[in-house]
């Protein structure tokens, strides 16, 4: 099997974590309130702080979840947890022709309310993530997390993780303790640049979803890729990339086909929009930018997509900026993702007619550069 693909968006969701992950590692005083698996009359769930928070595959509900993997031609023996089992995960990658995967952590456990328990839960997950990565250091890039809800903690966490050899961390912007344009983030951006650690922000929200009636729920998910536009613009216009020209951000599962207009529209704010002369009592604190917003994005930011025909069609259009910013990620093992035993055929169809050099850059080369993945010679010419 050729291994000419890097998935920049793969998931290690809470449901696939071993049931004893936190119970074995949390301080004894926190274990009772920390994440643990419980069996209920509705199935197997994770529980913490006396509330249920999400389904668990490590228990009586296992067959329900492993079935969706085996149905796509990937082995999932009874009782297994492939996304958190390095041997099975690598088998799944080999079946799909994937050389390396970048794994984002679950969302639910980030909603722990108590700040001290939250820090401990993050620390346990990070240890687990690094152990999983060390089982195949150049193929499994399991992102440890920094506590975006606690901005003052992030620089120290990034520094400590960098000392452990980490090249990229997950930064859950949707749980940020302050807007990204605020000055409180400057130490985080400086530390990330100084250490060379890329910040990776997976598309998400604070856990609030509209009701499943009158199309509200579907409307929410139809519009969610565009929610990333504001934090990206805040980073650009606050001067984060001006002050830290080597700061790197990956925004995952945002798709890319919409970004050419977004880049154009940000540039227009600089070229056309002026301060409103009617507003005289509000001091203007505007970062000095030496480049157009689109230039910062092309230099410092990447976005991932799994199935985005508009983006693929725009790859060869120089004006669009897609070739500079797009990484492919299959969203394994989410049902809506592009993955499975037939992956290479699916990608060949999606990229039909695209220049082979561009195709290889989106599917492999750019991700290898961004995440510092060392590539054996035999893997580089696969596609």
* Mean pLDDT, range 296-306, rounded to an integer: 98
Q: Taking each helix axis as running N to C, give the angle between helix 259-271 and helix 293-300, from 0 to 180 degrees, rounded to the nearest 10.
A: 140
Strands 301-305 and 249-252: parallel
- Is 71 within the bounds of a domain? no
**For residue 174, with 0-12 CB atoms within 10 Å meaning exposed, 13-18 middle and 19 or more buried, which class applies?**
middle
* Mean pLDDT, range 117-146, rounded to an integer: 97
3-state class of 247 per DSSP?
coil
Q: Kindly report the CATH number assigned to the domain that includes residue 339.
A: 3.20.20.140
pTM of the model: 0.93
State how far the Cα of 258 lies from the Cα of 251, in Å rounded to an integer. 14
Q: Which residue blocks in 144-286 are alpha helix, DSSP H?
A: 154-163, 186-195, 216-223, 229-237, 240-243, 259-271
Spell 343-372 as b/e; 16+ CB within 10 A means b.
bbebbeebbeeeeeebbbbbbbbbbbebbe
Please report which helix (H) or strand (E) contains residue 370, including its range.
helix 366-371
Least confident residue range of 92-96, 226-230, 242-246, 366-370 = 226-230
- Is 77 within the bounds of a domain? no
Find tokens 């492939």 and name the residue: 82
- Is 263 within the bounds of a domain? yes
Residue 83 has pLDDT above 80, yes or no: yes
State how far the Cα of 342 lies from the Cα of 338, in Å rounded to an integer. 9
- Is 383 within the bounds of a domain? no
State how far the Cα of 128 lies from the Cα of 333, in Å rounded to an integer. 19
- Is 23 within the bounds of a domain? no
Q: Taking each helix axis as running N to C, give the angle between helix 154-163 and helix 186-195, from 0 to 180 degrees, rounded to the nearest 10.
A: 10
State how far the Cα of 66 lies from the Cα of 56, in Å rounded to an integer. 11
State how far the Cα of 186 lies from the Cα of 238, in Å rounded to an integer. 10
Residue 32 has pLDDT above 50, yes or no: yes
- In the chain, how many domains are there? 1
Find tokens 């346990």 and name the residue: 124
pLDDT for 383: 43
Residue 362 has pLDDT above 80, yes or no: yes
The chain-wide mean pLDDT, for the chain, equals 93
3-state class of 12 per DSSP?
strand
- Residue 200: closest CA among 321, 332, 301: 301
- Is 258 within the bounds of a domain? yes
Spell 213-250 as b/e; 16+ CB within 10 A means b.
eeeeeeebeeeebeebbebbbbbbbbbbbbebeebbbb
- For residue 375, what pLDDT band results from cuts at 50, 70 and 90? confident
- Residue 171: closest CA among 131, 128, 195, 204: 204
For residue 370, what are its two tokens? 């961004």
- Is 22 within the bounds of a domain? no
pLDDT for 280: 60
- Is 30 within the bounds of a domain? no
Residue 377 has pLDDT above 80, yes or no: no
pLDDT for 26: 97
Range of the domain at 355: 5-12+87-374
């Amino acid at each position: 099997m050729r291994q000419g693909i890097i998935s920049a968006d793969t998931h290690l969701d809470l449901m696939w974590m071993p049931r004893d992950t936190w119970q074995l590692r949390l301080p004894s005083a926190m274990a009772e309130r920390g994440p643990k698996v419980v069996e209920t009359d509705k199935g197997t769930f994770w529980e913490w702080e006396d509330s249920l928070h999400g389904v668990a595959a490590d228990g009586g509900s296992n067959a329900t979840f492993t079935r969706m993997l085996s149905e796509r031609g990937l082995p999932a023996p009874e009782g297994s947890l492939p996304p958190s089992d390095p041997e099975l995960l690598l088998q799944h990658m080999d079946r799909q022709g994937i050389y390396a995967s970048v794994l984002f952590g679950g969302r639910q456990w980030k909603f722990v309310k108590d700040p001290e328990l939250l820090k401990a839960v993050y620390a346990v997950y990070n240890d687990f993530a690094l152990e999983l990565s060390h089982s195949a250091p150049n193929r499994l890039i399991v992102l440890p997390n920094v506590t975006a809800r606690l901005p003052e903690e992030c620089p120290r966490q990034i520094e400590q993780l960098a000392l452990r050899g980490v090249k990229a961390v997950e930064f859950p912007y949707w749980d940020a303790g302050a807007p990204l344009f605020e000055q409180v983030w400057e130490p985080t951006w400086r530390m990330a640049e100084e250490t060379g650690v890329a910040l990776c922000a997976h598309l998400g929200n604070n856990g609030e979803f509209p009701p499943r009636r009158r199309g509200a729920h579907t409307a929410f998910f139809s519009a969610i890729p565009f929610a990333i536009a504001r934090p990206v613009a805040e980073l650009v216009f606050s001067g984060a990339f001006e002050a830290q020209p080597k700061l790197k951000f990956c925004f995952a599962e945002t798709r890319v086909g919409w970004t050419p207009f977004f880049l154009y529209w940000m540039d227009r704010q600089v070229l056309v929009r002026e301060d409103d002369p009617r507003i005289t009592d509000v001091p203007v604190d505007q970062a000095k930018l030496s480049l157009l917003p689109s230039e910062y994005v092309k230099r410092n930011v990447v976005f991932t997509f799994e199935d985005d025909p508009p983006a693929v069609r725009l790859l060869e259009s120089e004006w669009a900026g897609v070739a500079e910013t797009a990484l492919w990620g299959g969203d394994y093992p989410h049902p809506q993702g592009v993955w499975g035993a037939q992956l290479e055929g699916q990608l060949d169809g999606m990229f039909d007619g695209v220049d082979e050099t561009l195709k290889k850059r989106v599917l492999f080369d750019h991700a290898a550069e961004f995440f510092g993945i060392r590539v054996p010679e035999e893997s580089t010419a696969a596609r």
